[in-house]
Amino acid sequence: MNSFTADFEEIRRRAREHMEDGPITEAYQADRQKVIDVLNEVLATEIVCTLRYKAHYYLAQGIHSQGVADEFLQHAQEEQLHADMVAKRITELNGKPNFNPDGLHTRSHAEYKEGTKLEDMIREDLVAERIAIGTYSEIIRWLGNDDPTTRRMIEEILAKEEEHADDLAKLLVRLGVASDGH
Ligand SMILES: [Fe+2]
Ligand SMILES: [Fe+2]
């Protein structure tokens, strides 16, 4: 492996040049505006997922399924945490996190579907998680080494979405409604 070398004089000079850009320096290789736009879609996805899990939490309580309801609540809290992580990263990139409810559903990768039966709720959540897993994996590949901080954050969120999908698949098995091998 080659030893790490860098023109430290030049890096220090550039760091002073755009102090108002905060953590964004000349070393940032990605298209900042495109990353902000993509992160606003992720933010919308996380907000929609938070709302859907919250709805499912309250609906499930009505049909006496405390175990499942608790799982929904935990997921809602974790999606909210993801939304906060993404919004914070957007501001670090000098962008504006979009919390506008207008167009929220269009910006989101995943859908807001309620369902009435417990198993329908779990299935809708599983579909949404699998969509998020697919699009976040794409974002990670797209970012490559151009913005390692954003990539690491999306990787961390992706790992949690995979855990959510696994929780939901196991809930379906527990309820005895898992589809046979599909
Ligand atoms: Fe999430
Ligand atoms: Fe999730």
Ligand nearest to the CA of 136: 1
* pLDDT in the model for residue 8: 72
Neighbours of ion ligand 2 (CB under 5 A): 129, 161, 164
Query: Closest Cα partner for 156 from 89, 73, 57?
Result: 89
* pLDDT in the model for residue 115: 84
First to last CA, the chain: 45
Sign of CA dihedral 41, 47, 49, 51: negative
* pLDDT in the model for residue 167: 96
Q: Which two tokens stand for residue 136?
A: 């976040």
* pLDDT in the model for residue 181: 46
CA of 87 to the centre of ligand 1 (A): 13
Q: Which two tokens stand for residue 109?
A: 């990768």
Query: Closest Cα partner for 42 from 102, 110, 95?
Result: 110
CA of 3 to the centre of ligand 1 (A): 38
pLDDT by position in tens, the chain (length 182): 566 667 778 777 777 777 777 788 888 888 999 999 999 999 999 999 999 999 999 999 878 787 899 999 999 999 999 999 999 999 999 999 999 999 999 999 988 888 889 999 999 999 999 999 999 999 999 999 999 999 999 999 999 999 999 999 999 998 887 765 44
